[in-house]
Structure 1
Amino acid sequence: MTNDMNETAWLERTLTTDIPLGGAMELTVSRLDECGVELSLPLGPSVNDKGTAFGGALASAMILAGWSLPRLVLLRAGIDADLVIGRCEIRFIAPVGRDFRAACRWPSAEKLQAFRDRLAQRGRASLELEPELLVDGEVAATLSAKYAALMRDRKEERRA
């Protein structure tokens, strides 16, 4: 699969169907290119009692934006691995009172290669990413996160 509309459609389907929260949040993949990924979300499904976006929704949007990139790395490499968030730290900068975007830039080619190499050698690897939450081009929240991949066949070996 190449980085074209098919990959974008695959990612959006994954984020909204395989992860029902993404569907409930009505997210769409508005950009997927060599710079990174950007998810667009309407305020409505994520609004709180103050008329702004619920903090958990903002955190979820950034987590999903970050999760998208290592998931695509695994897909492109044909690697069958589970992908989870291992840790994260969120910084809320400004209230979000309108539609918003969650974006994450690709890490360097060296970091991506180290991620793939470690996964091949050890059956597990992690990748640190820093998604952002944007409103009208301004950063409203940031996330520092570590995503962990675990080869599925190795996981089964440990259970035996």
Structure 2
Amino acid sequence: MREPGIPHPRLPLPLEGGEDDPASFLAWLGEAIPMVEHLGIRSMRREGGDLEWRLDLSPSLNDKGTGFGGALAAQTTLLGWCWTTLWLRRRGYERDVVVAEAGQRFLAPVTGDYRLVCTPEAEDGPERLAERLERRGKGRIALVQRLWCGDTLCLEARGDYAVLPAD
């Protein structure tokens, strides 16, 4: 059981040049952030610069039988945090990531299981983040999350994620 004010132990970094196993990362995430086990995440995969979750709608239902906006907003924010954390881990950084700013636009009701896709807002965003980390030891990146229910774009979110300096 997690205790307030006590950080959860970090997941060991992957071997140099390696990537995190998605299932292991999601298991750690569920321990580190207890609400994760209630989000309905079925799978996680990386494709190019994107990070994608597949989710079940049932844990996020509202009173109308569609996706609850608060749960969907939390999921988009957390997916951006995961994108940033995994990007750092592939480069050998053990850093804290925090969301600095987040917002969303709800475009259509979520009526079934769905996928969330996170990508950098600017194509050169990851390179700029790498430069800032090298030069200043901290940085920020803007990410966009899109929620698709079938072929329908239901939600578009944007967040700025800050990478804090090393301890």
TM-score in same-fold range (> 0.5): yes
Task: Provide the residue aligned with 2:79 in structure 1.
Answer: 65
Match of 2:109 among 92, 95, 105: 95
Task: Provide the residue aligned with 1:147 in structure 2.
Answer: 161
Residue type of the alignment partner of 1:50: K
Task: Provide the residue aligned with 2:127 in structure 1.
Answer: 113
Task: Provide the residue aligned with 1:17 in structure 2.
Answer: 31
Task: Provide the residue aligned with 2:50 in structure 1.
Answer: 36
Indicate if the aligned counterparts of 1:52 and 1:96 stay in contact, CA closer than 8 A.
yes
Identity of aligned residues (%): 32
Structure 1 length-normalised TM = 0.83
Paired with 1:84 and 1:77, the residues of 2 have a C-alpha distance of: 18
| Structure 2 residue 143 is matched with structure 1 residue 129 | yes
Runs of 5+ consecutive residues of structure 1 not aligned to the other structure: 154-160
Shift >3 Å, 4+ stretches: 106-110
Shift of 1:109: 6.7
Please, what is the CA RMSD of the aligned residues?
Answer: 1.9
Over 3 Å counting, the alpha-carbon distance change for 1:89 and 1:106 in structure 2 is closer
- Flag the structure with higher helix content: 1
Structure 2 length-normalised TM = 0.80
Paired with 2:121 and 2:104, the residues of 1 have a C-alpha distance of: 19
